Structures are given as structure tokens and as C-alpha cells.
Amino acid sequence: MQNKKHSTILKSNRDYKTLFAIEATLLRQAGSISKLKAELPTLLKNALAEVIDNERTGRRTLSDLEKTEKTYIGTKVEILVRNYFRLPKGNLDLKINGNDVDIKNTVGSNWMIPPEALNKACILVALNDQFCWFGVFMASPENLTSGANRDQKRSVSAAGFLNIHWILFGEKYPAVAELPNCPSCGRKSA
């Protein structure tokens, strides 16, 4: 992801307290930053490996996937992130410190933010074949593009990229972890 840059969020930023409080909760739920760095990339890489499904399909990379499969990865990431942090579902994807938070994933270079997430905090996840990014972001109008798509979704603006608070930045995936066998049928489980 060439256009990802470390955030420049200063304490004077109006979203600083909210974003850093969300980060603190996420790190507390994970156990520590080192646990998060060890576990979340593995979880995300395993999710990608399940969809790519090299053993049965012969595919090896994200570019081999169909558009619908890439969309499915976003849904899978949302569920895995919520379960990993053991946080309740809110009006959006989850609730953190009383805030409704949307989880957005991309396998491209930007995220599509729906109108219901406007002025709400978002967890942004980005994946490619070798690395992952994980951060928090406020989907305020000044952080989003002015134009919307037909679903009224807007993307993160160039200025908005500087207001993403990255918790994991270009974290390299470990080797794909072996999935456990299902106790009832013996097949590999997700």
C-alpha cells in the first residue's frame, strides 16, 4: 500500500482523545501490543488463505480472487476482528467505550465509508499478500472525499490518510498457522 503514511495526529486534533481511548481499549482486550502484533496478522493471513484456498483452487494471491470473494474477505475480517477483541456489536459493527465503530477492510488502496459511519470512529484494516495494516480513524467530512459513489459511500481523502492512527503499520504476516481440526468431523476449521 504505497499511499499509507504514518499518522500525524497531534494532541490538539479534536479526535485525538477518542481515537487513543479506542486504541487503549483494543490493546487491553488484546492483552498487549506485542500480543496484538503476534496474533492479529496470523488471524488475517489465515482468513486470506481460507478464501484463496490454494490447495483446492491453485490460486496463490489476492489478485487471483473474484470481486465477490474480495468483498467476502471484508465481511470475514469484520467478524474476526469483533470476535478477536471480544467486543459487542453496536449499531454499526461494534461498540467501543460507548462509541459505535465501523470496521472497514480493503484489499486495494482505500476504504469505502458508508453514510451511516459519517462522524463515527472506524477501524481500518488493509491487506495485501504480504502485509497488513490496522488503525483507527474518524470518518469526519474533512477526512473523506467530497464525491460519493452510487451507494453514497465516500473514500478516505489524501488529507484523511494523515489522520489515520495506525496501530499496526505494514506488519508482515507470519507463516500461515495450521488450522485446528474440527472435533466432530476431523476437517480443518476456520
For the stretch 97-151, pLDDT in tens is 999 999 999 999 999 999 999 999 999 999 999 999 999 999 999 999 998 888 9
pLDDT at residue 1 in the model: 52
7, pLDDT greater than 70: no
- In tens, the pLDDT along 31-90 reads 999 999 999 999 999 999 999 988 898 889 999 999 999 999 999 999 999 999 999 999
Joined together, the cell numbers standing for residue 45 give 493471513
Alpha helix segments (H runs only) across the chain? 16-30, 33-52, 54-57, 67-85, 158-161
Query: Do residues 115 and 125 make contact, with C-beta atoms less than 8 angstroms apart?
Result: no
Alpha carbon distance 44, 137 (integer Å)? 19
The model's pTM is 0.87
Reading phi first (left if > 0) and then psi (alpha if -120 to 50, else beta), residue 144 is in beta
pLDDT band at 176 (very low <50, low <70, confident <90, very high): low
190, pLDDT greater than 50: no
175, pLDDT greater than 90: no
**Rounded to whole angstroms, what are the CA distances from 133 to 57, 89, 123?**
27, 22, 10
CA terminus-to-terminus distance, the chain: 27
pLDDT at residue 20 in the model: 94
